[in-house]
């Protein structure tokens, strides 16, 4: 990592140089998903970040650096090809490490943004009476735990439905 870039900026530059869009690179580098489009546009216009992107792209055209896609392919091959000891026991360490690296590279460990605001819950009711009660509760005519009719309780012994 270059000294004039922080970790997020370096990750952004590496991702853009590897072919990600500015928005996706910003999200994967750890910037907020809500502001990623604007943030990505601002980052790419910073001279030191633009210079780093150009530097990484020029290195990638040579054989000095594997592209991100190529690294993902290699790691996927490691993860997909089980290895065994000479006695036939599975060696899972390299596969787990490869999967872990793929997850890091693709941002699988990033916290997913939580939605804010009202949430909708669908409730499927199988009884007309229960449906009526829920409708009345939704309209504010009835509160949970209240019931203006005596509840009928049917005893069910084991084996009966």
Bigger pLDDT: 117 vs 156: 117
28 found inside a domain: yes
Output the average pLDDT for the chain.
Answer: 78
Task: Classify residue 44 by burial, with Cβ atoms within 10 Å: 0-12, 13-18, 19+.
Answer: middle
Compute φ and ψ for 99, nearest 5 degrees.
-65, -40
- DSSP H or E segment with residue 91: strand 90-91
Higher pLDDT, 130 or 32: 32
- Residue 37's pLDDT band, with cuts at 50, 70 and 90, is very high
Mean pLDDT, range 31-45, rounded to an integer: 92
CB 43 within 8 A of CB 9: yes
28 and 55 inside one domain: yes
Q: What separation in angstroms does the CA of 87 have from each of 78, 83, 84?
A: 20, 11, 8
Q: Predicted confidence band at 103 (pLDDT cuts at 50, 70, 90)?
A: confident
Question: Which is more confidently placed, 29 or 66?
Answer: 29
- For the stretch 131-161, pLDDT in tens is 787 778 777 787 766 665 555 545 555 655 5
Of 45, 61, 77, which closes a domain?
61
36-45 and 7-17 helices, crossing angle to 10°: 90
Predicted pLDDT of residue 47: 93
Tokens of 152: 């009928």
Domain that holds residue 50: 7-61
What pLDDT is attached to residue 104? 82
Q: Which of 43, 61, 79 is the last residue of a domain?
A: 61
- Token pair 């790691």 is at which residue? 75
Q: What is the arithmetic mean of pLDDT over 119-131? A: 73
Buried b (16+ CB within 10 A) or exposed e, 70-104: eebeebeebbeeeeeeeeeeeeeeebeebbebbee
- Say if 144 falls within a structural domain: no
Task: Identify whether 11 is part of a domain.
Answer: yes
Please state the domain count of the chain: 2
Which pTM value belongs to this model? Answer: 0.40
Backbone conformation region of residue 73, classed left if phi is above 0, alpha if psi is from -120 to 50, else beta: alpha
Reply yes or no on whether the pLDDT at 98 is more than 80: yes
Q: Specify the DSSP element, H or E, that contains 90.
A: strand 90-91
């Amino acid at each position: 990592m270059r000294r004039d870039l922080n970790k997020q900026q370096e990750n952004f530059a590496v991702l853009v140089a590897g072919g990600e869009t500015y928005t996706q690179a910003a999200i994967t580098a750890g910037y907020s998903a809500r502001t990623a489009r604007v943030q990505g546009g601002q980052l790419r216009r910073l001279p030191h970040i633009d210079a780093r992107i150009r530097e990484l792209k020029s290195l990638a055209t040579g054989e000095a650096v594997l592209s991100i896609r190529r690294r993902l392919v290699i790691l996927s091959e490691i993860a997909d090809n089980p290895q065994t000891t000479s006695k036939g026991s599975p060696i899972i360490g390299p596969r787990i490490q490869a999967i872990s690296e793929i997850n890091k590279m693709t941002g699988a460990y990033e916290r997913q943004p939580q939605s804010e605001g009202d949430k909708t819950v669908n409730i499927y009711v199988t009884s007309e009476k229960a449906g009526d009660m829920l409708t009345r509760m939704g309209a504010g005519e009835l509160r949970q735990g209240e019931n203006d009719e005596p509840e009928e309780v049917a005893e069910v012994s084991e084996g009966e439905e």
